[in-house]
Amino acid sequence: MSTVNVTDDLVNVGDSLVNVTDLTVEFGSLRAVDGLSFRLAQGGALALVGESGSGKSTVAAALLGLHRGTGARVGGSIEVAG
């Protein structure tokens, strides 16, 4: 599993603000998020919709880097323009 790479510079994302590729989040043997990919373009909107326990907060925490130091394993790629 690779680590999440968050950059402050525009890295081949064109007009994208955020590119997420193959995001996974694991807590021990539990895979809470499995292979999520999406692109948020400038001027666009994104909604995470799902049942309770479906991973919405886990995805948001991974995007914000809040899982660091918690023992969670976060993999995939997160590119942020800015």
Tell me, what's the pLDDT at 44?
A: 85
Tell me, what's the pLDDT at 19?
A: 92
Q: Are strands 73-80 and 16-27 parallel, antiparallel or unpaired?
A: antiparallel
Which residues of the chain fall short of a pLDDT of 70?
1-14
Rounded to two decimals, the pTM is 0.73
Tell me, what's the pLDDT at 13?
A: 44
